[in-house]
Amino acid sequence: MFTNTFTETFGIEHPIVCGGMTAVGTADLISAVANAGALGFLTALTQPTPEALVKEIARCRDLTDKPFGVNLTILPTIQPVPYDEYRDAIVDSGITIVETAGGNPTPHLPTFKAAGVKVIHKAVSVRHAVKAEQLGVDAISIDGFECAGHPGEDDVPGLVLIPAAARALTIPIIASGGIATGAGLVAALALGASAVNMGTRFMATTEAPIHDNVKQQIVQNTERDTRIVFREFHNSARVARNSVSEEILDLSRRPGAGFGDIAHLASGVRGREQVYGNGDVEGGLWWASQAQGLIHDIGSCEEVVDSILTDAQHIIARTLRDQLAG
């Protein structure tokens, strides 16, 4: 019922995507997403070296025979990242689908295209999406303001951003940000998207490689339990509401504050080890979207995907029935 250009182009069963998530996008989760008929992305930079990425790709292939991709996020870092080596590891491993995010993917597109790799680029504005299409990417994942991670500085929610992007683009669009239910899938398709991307929803699954305390906290949280941090530094990021994100906001708003004043709180290592590893949900900064308010249980990836598809089919059938009755 939900087969379309996107599913056919990328060789998947369902128009549902689990995009790259640092420290979460490992073979454990992504193979389960793939086995459920959706499209998942290993996160390249979660692996400490390109060689480790090659091994993780192989491990994922041992766990699934269905399509999956790799996310390559290009961001400014204190320590230089060998992006070219990660890119080459992806290509040499025979990966055919890549999600790029962060910076301009131009330096890497010729290598990907020469290897027959299809590229999905993540954008947070229509103008950036249009530019990416002009560069030759195969699809756009458009992030509404509701999303976890970096939603940009324009604060445009998906209800406006998705149809605006659909009007401006000719390539498939993946709707991202605040989606966790069958209703979200139906809405995204109605707004012009060809698929949906879910991050926070897939964090609250049995296969997600994070502590159960975090999963339980996502279920307990509401749509109000996120905070936008780093806005003063023009690098806005939506994270879960906790004592650390509140302290970051307090320190950031003080006169003369700089990133150095909050760096110890914003440490990615701290979030991965204390939160995802040890289960201390107050121990560091961690990512979550406003979709928390729509997540009420922890299930397997297969159960989540099946539930979303079933609910979407019921919503469409009910809508058609009501229209005919009217």
The string of pLDDT tens digits covering residues 11-44 is 999 999 999 999 999 999 999 999 999 999 999 9
Q: pLDDT at position 78, please? A: 67
**pLDDT grade, residue 326 (50/70/90)?**
low
**pLDDT grade, residue 324 (50/70/90)?**
confident
pLDDT digits (tens, 9 = 90+) for 232-271: 998 999 999 999 999 999 999 999 888 888 999 998 889 9
**Alpha carbons 18 and 259: distance in angstroms, whole number:** 30
Q: Are 5 and 194 in contact (CB under 8 A)?
A: yes
Q: pLDDT at position 75, please? A: 83
At a CB cut-off of 8 Å and minimum separation 6, what does 282 contact?
Answer: 242, 243, 244
* CATH number for the domain whose boundaries are 5-210: 3.20.20.70
At a CB cut-off of 8 Å and minimum separation 6, what does 21 contact?
Answer: 43, 199, 202, 203, 287
Residue 284's alpha-carbon distances to 201, 268, 274, in angstroms, are 20, 8, 6
Q: Is the pLDDT of residue 209 over 70?
A: yes
Beta strands per DSSP E along 12-138: 16-18, 39-43, 69-74, 97-102, 118-123
pLDDT digits (tens, 9 = 90+) for 105-120: 999 999 999 999 999 9
The share of the chain scoring above pLDDT 90, in percent, equals 88
Q: Is the pLDDT of residue 100 over 90?
A: yes
**Alpha carbons 206 and 209: distance in angstroms, whole number:** 8
pLDDT digits (tens, 9 = 90+) for 149-191: 999 999 999 999 999 999 999 999 999 999 999 999 999 999 9
The amino acid sitting at 114 is A
Mean pLDDT of the chain: 95
Domain boundaries, the chain: 5-210, 226-287
Please state whether beta strands 195-197 and 139-143 pair in parallel, antiparallel, or not at all (unpaired).
unpaired
**Alpha carbons 19 and 198: distance in angstroms, whole number:** 7
**Alpha carbons 83 and 88: distance in angstroms, whole number:** 9
